Amino acid sequence: MLRFLQNYPHFLEVVFDLFERVLQPFRRWLKPGSFWEPAVIWVEEVGKGAVFDCRMCGQCILHSTGMTCSMTCPKNLRNGPCGGVRTNGHCEVYPEKPCIWVQAYERSKDMPRYGYELMDIQPPVNRRLEGTASWINMLQGIDRELPEGWVNVEDVAVVTPQVAEEVKSTWTVN
């Protein structure tokens, strides 16, 4: 198993950056329904499965969630932990497992490039993309196609990243 790689989130975000660039030239071949699609799906299933326990939602946000797969949360939460986390930081549903959001938070602190994306509001999951290749969806912008109502609304960040960082450094949390 390659799960230990998740403990090197900074390494993984660098890999993600490189990988996105490497894939770009192949855009014209990597399309849904293309000859290559099954192969990409297979590679994702095996590769991301081994490292992240990937659930093939087809709209990967790993780099925004501390390189921790949010779909492995039993409640499929995309925006952070529920209120049921146990005092030892374990999951409400599976007491023997650590809460993936506790892990996501810890890991995102070691991610200078994408760590703060943990504060982004993630849109509802597009259930039609389940089982498709998220890399193809990323290259073709399919995973950024959102319900019309959702995109029409403007978001105002109530806390800027700078303020959050400044303030957090003064907190002593045990």
Pairwise CA distance, residues 121 & 136, whole Å: 23
CB atoms within 10 A of CB 69: 21
Q: How far is the CB of 117 from another protein (least distance, A)?
A: 12
State the residues that interact with another protein by CB under 8 A.
74-87, 89, 92-93, 99, 101-102, 105-106, 119, 121-125, 127, 147-150, 152-153, 155-159, 163-164, 167-168, 170-171, 173
Q: Which helix (H) or strand (E) holds 39?
A: helix 37-52
Residue 125 beta carbon to another protein: minimum distance, rounded to whole angstroms:
8
Could you tell me the CA-to-CA distances from 35 to 29, 32, 134, 143 in Å, in that order?
8, 9, 16, 20
| Closer residue to another protein (CB): 15 or 82 | 82
Specify the residue, 32 or 74, whose C-beta has the smaller distance to another protein: 74
Nearer to another protein, 35 or 148 (CB): 148
User: Contact, 131 vs 58, CB < 8 A?
Assistant: yes
